[in-house]
C-alpha cells in the first residue's frame, strides 16, 4: 500500500515538473520574440510633440550682451544660429498718436527683457507701396528675437489712416493695440512745432499756429488742418472699433508718461500679459534734458533724441481756449468709449 502511494506521488511530481518546464520554455520563447519585435507605432510617438520650452525671463536677463544686441537690432548670423533667433510679426503695435509720446513708449517698453522693438517706423499698413510688397517683406523688417519674446513696432500714422484697421485685422485679428494720447491742444501745438522746425532747417517760412488752427473766414476751428484733425481722437478710434473690440486697445496717458512713467508702463505690462519687470531702477530723471532717461543695466543707459521735448512757441490764449472748447465734446466721448478719463479742459 505504501509502495503504491509513493508511486502515485512520483507520477504527480513528474507531471508538475513537466508543466513547469513547459511554462518556462514558453516564457523564454515569448521573451525572445519580444526582443526581436519592435512596435510599429510606439506610444511616445503617438503623443503630441512637446511644446518648445519657454525661455525664462531670468535666463533672458543673464543673456545681457545678447539682449543688448537684440535691442539695437545688431544680432550676428552666428548669434541667430546658436540661439535659434527668429523674425516675428508683431503681437502688439503702437498705432498712435503722432506727438503723443510713441517713441518714448516704445523705448521704455524695450526695457522689458521679453520685449523687442522694431527700431524704425515700418509704415507697412499706411503705405500702399510697402503694403503691396507683402507680409514677408514686413516680417523681414522685424528684429530677431527669441520665439517667446514679443515684437512691438510703432507707426503713429496708422491711427489716422483709413485703410490701416482692416489691413492689420487681416494680418492678426487678435493683435493688441496701444494708443498714447496727450491733451489734444497741447498735442496739436507739438505737431505744429515739429513741422515748423523742419521748415526752418530748410530755410522755409511757415504760418503761425493761430493762422493754421483757426479759419480766418469763419473764425472757427479749422478741421481741415491736419494737426487739429489728428487730435479728434474719438473720430479715428470709431473707425478702428469696426474691426477690433475695445478690449484689444490700451490707452496710455502721454502726459503722465513724461512726468511719472512707471505707473503707465506697469499698466501696459499688465495689458500685454507680461510679468512685471520694469522698475524705478530703469528710469531716472535727467534734469538737464528735462525728462526721464532709461537704465537697462549698470553699464548701458539711454536718453531719447535731443529733438524730443522741443520748446513750444507761445500761442494766443484765446486760440488755446477756442481749441479746448472745440475738443471738449470729442474728449468726453473718448472717455466714454475707452473707460479712461483724463483731466483735460
139 labelled ligand-binding:
no
Report how far residue 159's alpha carbon sits from residue 187's, in angstroms, rounded to the nearest whole number.
14
Is residue 36 marked as binding?
no
Q: Which residue has the cell 512757441?
A: 313
Computed on alpha carbons and rounded to an integer, the radius of gyration of the chain in Å comes to 33
Closest to 118 (Cα-Cα) out of 93, 153, 68, 92: 153
Burial label, 324 (beta-carbon count in 10 A; 0-12, 13-18, 19+): middle
235 labelled ligand-binding: no
Euclidean distance between CA atoms 174 and 181, whole angstroms: 22
DSSP 70-129: HHHT---HHHHHHTT-EE---SEEEEE-TTSSHHHHHHHHTTSTTEEE-SS----SS-HH
C-alpha cell at 154: 510703432
How many angstroms separate the CA atoms of 157 and 123, rounded? Answer: 8
Q: Show the cell assigned to 343.
A: 483731466
Distances from the Cα of 166 to the Cαs of 94, 128, 130, 157, in angstroms?
16, 13, 16, 15
CA–CA gap between residue 227 and residue 140 (Å, rounded): 32
> Which one of the listed residues 99, 117, 176, 322 is annotated catalytic?
99
Sheet-wide strand order for 301-302: 283-286, 291-295, 301-302
Per the annotation, does 176 bind a ligand?
no
Residue 276, annotated as binding a ligand: no
Catalytic site includes residue 199: no
Compute CA distances 274 → 49, 113, 148, 278, whole Å: 26, 10, 11, 10
Q: Is 154 annotated as a binding residue?
A: no
Task: Establish whether 99 is an annotated binding residue.
Answer: yes
Alpha carbon distance 93, 88 (integer Å)? 13
65 carries a ligand binding annotation: no
Consult the annotation and say whether 232 binds a ligand: no
> Is there a binding annotation on residue 292?
yes
Q: Does 339 carry a binding-site annotation?
A: no
Which residues define the annotated binding site for 3'-phosphoadenylyl sulfate? Answer: 99-103, 182, 190, 292, 308-312
What are the catalytic residues?
Answer: 99
Annotated binding site, which residues?
Answer: 99-103, 182, 190, 292, 308-312
Amino acid at each position: 500500500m505504501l509502495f503504491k502511494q509513493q508511486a502515485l506521488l512520483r507520477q504527480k511530481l513528474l507531471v508538475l515538473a513537466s508543466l513547469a518546464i513547459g511554462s518556462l520554455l514558453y516564457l523564454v520563447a515569448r521573451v525572445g520574440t519580444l526582443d526581436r519585435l519592435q512596435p510599429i507605432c510606439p506610444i511616445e510617438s503617438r503623443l503630441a510633440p512637446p511644446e518648445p520650452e519657454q525661455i525664462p525671463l531670468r535666463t533672458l536677463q543673464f543673456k545681457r550682451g545678447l539682449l543688448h544686441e537684440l535691442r539695437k537690432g545688431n544680432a550676428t548670423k552666428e548669434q541667430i544660429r546658436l540661439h535659434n533667433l527668429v523674425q516675428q510679426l508683431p503681437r502688439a503695435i503702437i498705432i498712435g498718436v503722432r506727438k503723443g509720446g510713441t517713441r518714448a513708449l516704445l523705448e521704455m517698453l524695450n526695457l522689458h527683457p521679453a520685449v523687442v522693438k522694431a527700431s524704425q517706423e515700418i509704415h507697412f499698413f499706411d503705405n500702399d507701396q510697402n503694403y503691396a510688397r507683402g507680409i514677408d517683406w514686413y516680417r523681414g523688417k522685424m528684429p530677431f528675437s527669441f520665439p517667446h519674446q514679443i515684437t512691438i513696432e510703432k507707426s503713429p500714422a496708422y491711427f489716422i489712416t483709413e485703410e490701416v484697421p482692416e489691413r492689420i485685422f487681416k494680418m492678426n485679428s487678435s493683435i493688441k493695440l496701444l494708443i498714447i494720447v496727450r491733451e489734444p491742444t497741447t498735442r496739436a501745438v507739438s505737431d505744429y512745432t515739429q513741422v515748423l522746425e523742419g521748415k526752418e532747417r530748410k530755410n522755409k517760412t511757415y504760418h503761425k499756429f493761430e493762422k493754421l488752427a483757426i479759419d480766418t473766414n469763419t473764425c472757427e476751428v479749422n478741421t481741415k488742418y491736419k494737426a487739429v484733425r489728428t487730435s479728434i481722437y474719438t473720430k479715428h478710434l470709431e473707425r478702428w472699433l469696426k474691426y477690433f473690440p475695445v478690449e484689444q486697445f490700451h490707452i496710455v496717458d502721454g502726459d503722465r508718461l513724461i512726468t511719472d512713467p512707471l505707473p503707465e508702463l506697469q499698466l501696459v505690462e499688465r495689458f500685454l500679459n507680461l510679468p512685471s519687470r520694469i522698475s524705478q531702477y530703469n528710469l531716472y530723471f535727467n534734469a538737464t534734458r528735462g525728462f526721464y532717461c532709461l537704465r537697462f543695466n549698470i553699464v548701458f543707459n539711454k536718453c531719447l533724441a535731443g529733438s524730443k521735448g522741443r520748446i513750444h512757441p507761445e500761442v494766443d490764449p484765446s486760440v488755446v481756449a477756442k481749441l479746448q472748447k472745440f475738443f471738449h465734446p470729442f474728449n468726453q466721448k473718448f472717455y466714454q468709449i475707452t473707460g479712461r478719463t483724463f483731466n483735460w479742459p
